[in-house]
Structures are given as structure tokens and as C-alpha cells.
Chain A
Amino acid sequence: MCTICGCSETQAATYTVPGAHAHTHDHDHEHGHAHEHDHDHGHTHTHAPAEDPHAVLHAAMHGRTIALEQDILAKNKVLAERNRGWFEGREVLALNLMSSPGSGKTSLLERTIHALKNEMNIYVVEGDQAGTNDAERIRATGCAVIQVNTGAGCHLEADMLARSMQQLNPRSGSLVLIENVGNLICPALFDLGERAKVVVISVTEGDDKPTKYPHMFRACRLMLINKIDLLPHVRFDVDRCIARAREVNPDIHVLQVSAETGQGMEPWYQWLRRELAGQPTFAPT
């Protein structure tokens, strides 16, 4: 079982490249490393404990205490760092986009791809519990995409991203946009190895979301306030939302956009260009 959300250990995550055949892997939480080789050979592996096995044996004989000092989420963190190194080696900018369901992440990606596809190579990883609708929408833009269905899981994990990258094989210097499962809780706790986490909040939600879900807003470097074309029709207070986000995360950058009308999108594209070029980010509101 997943250590955060209770998703089933035996539940398989599914990887689908739209237009290609479906492909299934076990969603195994017990491995501390990624596999890049087949396990078809006829013997089993023993995974050695991280501490000296003699110490365990000695302790067993004398009733001693074993210092573990182990982060409960350590396995995912190790895999995430592997991904981070992989991206750095290829000068790939990987961004982890997170939000509640329905904030407009996929629409934001569609518009971004249309605007930028002639100036950079873009790849998309779509995370959803089920279905390939989002991947089909991205595919229609002409962008390479893989759909990860987490089954009972409510977030993407580092090993899922590693497998997705093996399939997508992004070119050096490209942009990888990861659309995480719509959920403001668990995805915040699972590092994927991305350069930055980006949270999308739409003005049809409450402007108090940052203080309701502080872990998420604290983990993110950028907050995109989406659907600003609807502001005249809703009670969402942009200033209050930003103030609350800054209470949780004083360093968070904020951009206001409408993926529907295109309003405010240019600063987001500039943010992407600067990040891709490895330049420090500016901090407008």
C-alpha cells in the first residue's frame, strides 16, 4: 500500500501512448531502485539492508537497538534524485503541475503547446486515475505525450516518471510538462525529480485554498491563477489569495492567466523560456 494515500500496492499503474498499444507495469512500492533490465533469469535477488547486516545480526543476538534514522518517504526521494540527474544531464526542464481537479491544467497545457511548439521541443506526461482523455487532447496538438493511469493511486511517483521518460525519450534541451493527478494533498509530498513544482488554482475555487492546503502551496515555486476571465462573475479575491499563498510560502511567484482567452499567458511563456535557458526567475505578482 502507498505510504501516503492508501492506494493499493498491487494495483498496476498503466502507461499509454495514444495511438500505440497499452503497456502495464506493477506499481511496486517496495523497490529502492529503478530497474532498467529484465528479470527473466531464474534466480531471486536479495535486497541488502542499508545498514551493516552484521549489526542487525548482532542486535538480534543481544536484543540491541538498531538505529534506522530512515525517512519514511526515502525510497521515492532516491528515485526522484535519479530523475533529477537524468534531466540535468540532458538539460531538460521538467515541471510538475498540480492542482485540484478542474482548475484547467490541460487547457493551460494545450494553449502553451500551441504558443511555444515552434520554438522548443515539448513533451507531456498526463497523470490521471483513469482514462486517456487528457492525453488525447494533448496528442491533438501534435505534442508527444504519455498517459499514466495511477489506478487506485492519487498522485504520480518518481518511478512512474522514470518509466514515462524511457517511453518518451525527450530530446536534449526540451521542456517536459508533467500534469499530476488532480489533488492538492498527496502530490505535494512526492518529489518526482522535477526542476520546479507549479500549482494552478482557478478563480472558481475558494481564495483560501493556500491556507487550506499549505503543504501544496509551500512546495511550489510558482502559482498560476487561472480563469481570470471569469473574475467579474465570481467572488474570488486575487489579492487575498496571493496574500494567503505568501503566508504559507513567502517566496512563491504568482502569475495570473486565462488559458481560455490567452490573457496573461505571455509572462508564463517568458517564465518557461527563462527557466529553460537556466536563468533565474523573476518575481512579479
Chain B
Amino acid sequence: MHELSITHGIVAICAERAGTERVTCVRLEIGQLSAVLPDAVRFCFDICAKGTVVEGAILEIIETPGRALCRDCNGEVAMTQLFGRCRCGSANLRVIAGEELKIREMELA
């Protein structure tokens, strides 16, 4: 479960930026193709935040759906995994969204 360590990283970045201030909310953007499960991050967040300035903060996760552009017909394809097929039959796809792994913002008390 790499989400535990990912969540440790998130808390570390927020705590470093916040300094001595208390963090009340953290907003993440996690792409649905990023190989990170939001529910697992939620599960880990309180444990990782304990004893830091992030303890008690609300965690909000914006999940970005996967999208790709077909390189043959230029159509847009919804993606639930890193590969797929366009309606035109082509598998020649370029993923344009869904791989985000980002801390968007945080709120301080």
C-alpha cells in the first residue's frame, strides 16, 4: 500500500509550508490514472497527520477523470485505466488527464 507513504509525503509538504501555523484543510487532486487510491489516502491521512500542524485538518480530494486524445481520429476518449481504445478502433491514444498527483491548496487556521 504505497498510499501510506504518499500520504506521509503530503503531510510533510503541508507541514513544511505551514511552519508553525495550524492547517485546517488540505485539498488534493488525484487523477484516476495515477495508481493512487483516494480512499486509501483518506484512510491514512489522520494517522500521518497526528502530532503535526496538519493534525485535525479536513482532507478534500478532487478526483480527475482519465481522458485521452486519439492520435488517429483526434477524438476524445474517457479512460478508466492507462490504456484503452477509441470508438474508431485505434489504441493509439495520448493520455491528457487523469495522472495528476498534486496538493492544490491548504487552509490555515
Determine the distance from Cα of A150 to Cα of B88 in the docked complex, in whole angstroms.
46
Q: Closest 9 A-B residue pairs measured CB to CB?
A: A3-B9, A214-B82, A6-B5, A60-B21, A250-B92, A1-B8, A248-B83, A247-B83, A68-B103
Q: Looking at the complex, which one of B6, B17, B24, B82 makes contact with A68 (CB distance below 8 Å)?
A: B17
**Residue tally, chain A, CB below 8 Å to B:** 38
Whether A40 sits at the interface, judged by CB under 8 Å, is: no
Chain A residues within CB distance 8 Å of chain B? 1-7, 29-30, 47, 49-51, 56, 59-60, 63-73, 185-186, 189, 211, 214-215, 218, 246-248, 250
Beta-carbon contact of B5 and A72 below 8 Å = no
Name the residue on B nearest A186 (C-beta).
B2
Bitwise, B1-36 to A at CB < 8 A (1) or not (0) is 110111011101110111101001100000000010
Beta-carbon contact of A3 and B102 below 8 Å = no
Chain B binding surface, main DSSP class: mixed
Q: How many A-B residue contacts, CB cutoff 8 Å?
A: 104
Q: A4-B2, A250-B91 are in contact. Are A64 and B13 (CB under 8 A)?
A: no
Name the residue on B nearest A9 (C-beta).
B8
Determine the distance from Cα of A30 to Cα of B8 in the docked complex, in whole angstroms.
11
Q: List 29 A-B contacts (CB under 8 A).
A: A2-B9, A4-B6, A5-B2, A6-B4, A7-B5, A29-B12, A49-B16, A59-B107, A60-B109, A63-B24, A63-B109, A64-B108, A65-B25, A65-B105, A65-B107, A66-B18, A67-B105, A68-B17, A68-B106, A70-B102, A70-B103, A72-B10, A72-B13, A72-B103, A215-B82, A246-B91, A247-B83, A250-B71, A250-B93
Which residues of chain B from 47 to 104 have a CB within 8 Å of any chain A CB?
Answer: 71, 81-83, 91-93, 101-104
Q: Looking at the complex, which one of A4, A7, A65, A73 makes contact with B106 (CB distance below 8 Å)?
A: A65
Q: A6-B4, A6-B5, A64-B108 are in contact. Are A72 and B17 (CB under 8 A)?
A: no
Contacts of A5 in B (CB 8 A): 2, 5
Contacts of A50 in B (CB 8 A): 17
Beta-carbon contact of B104 and A67 below 8 Å = yes
Contacts of A67 in B (CB 8 A): 104-105
Determine the distance from Cα of A248 to Cα of B18 in the docked complex, in whole angstroms.
39
**Residue tally, chain B, CB below 8 Å to A:** 35
Determine the distance from Cα of A189 to Cα of B5 in the docked complex, in whole angstroms.
14
Contacts of A63 in B (CB 8 A): 24, 107-109
Determine the distance from Cα of A68 to Cα of B101 in the docked complex, in whole angstroms.
12
Beta-carbon contact of B107 and A66 below 8 Å = yes
* Smallest beta-carbon distance A166→chain B, Å: 26
Contacts of A186 in B (CB 8 A): 2
Determine the distance from Cα of A47 to Cα of B84 in the docked complex, in whole angstroms.
43
Contacts of B16 in A (CB 8 A): 30, 47, 49
Contacts of B83 in A (CB 8 A): 211, 214, 218, 247-248
Contacts of B107 in A (CB 8 A): 59, 63-66
Beta-carbon contact of B105 and A72 below 8 Å = no
Beyond A5-B5, A214-B82, A250-B92, 7 extra complex contacts between A and B, CB < 8 Å: A4-B6, A5-B2, A29-B12, A49-B16, A65-B107, A68-B13, A68-B105
Determine the distance from Cα of A79 to Cα of B107 in the docked complex, in whole angstroms.
28
Name the residue on B nearest A74 (C-beta).
B13
Beta-carbon contact of A3 and B5 below 8 Å = yes
* Smallest beta-carbon distance B64→chain A, Å: 13
Interface-centre pick from A30, A65, A186 (highest chain B CB count, 10 A): A65
